[in-house]
Amino acid sequence: MGIEIERKFLVQNEGWRGLAEGILYRQGYLASRPGCTVRVRVAGNQGYLTIKGSTAGISRAEYEYGIPLEDAAQLLDRLCQLPLIEKTRYRIPVASGLVWEVDEFAGENQGLIVAEIELSQADQSIELPDWIGLEVSDDPRYFNANLVNHPYCRW
């Protein structure tokens, strides 16, 4: 079983800009219920199908599989719940060997900028750059699956 251990933060200033090139993401959900989400994603020119389990603290089961780009695009356009999540992701490596992923949302979630960092263990210490703000790891409003039903523009 794959395990995702991730902390999520709001971005509080522009200090991250220019540290990485962005990749456009489109993603949608085939199923989303408590305890399980099934997501389709196009990231650049790659397609993915991802199944995620319940969140316990900052950890959850995650299974991700590459799928043909054309299949992913058709699933997004024909079967996923609307609105789709649209964002540009910037991957910013840091000296510790970790990578910050900054997501700048567009569409219905325009104005939201969130930074995530994946860890190898839940109690792993990290250094927070000065552009990192409030931690929202435990706030379900910021889960991408919830941004479909409750987009940031309606908060």
The set of catalytic residues is 29
Side-chain half-sphere exposure of 21, counting CA atoms within 13 A: 2
Q: Where are the beta strands (DSSP E) in 34-125?
A: 36-43, 46-53, 59-67, 85-93, 99-105, 113-118
Report the amino acid identity of residue 10. Answer: L
Burial class (CB in 10 A: 0-12, 13-18, 19+), 133: middle
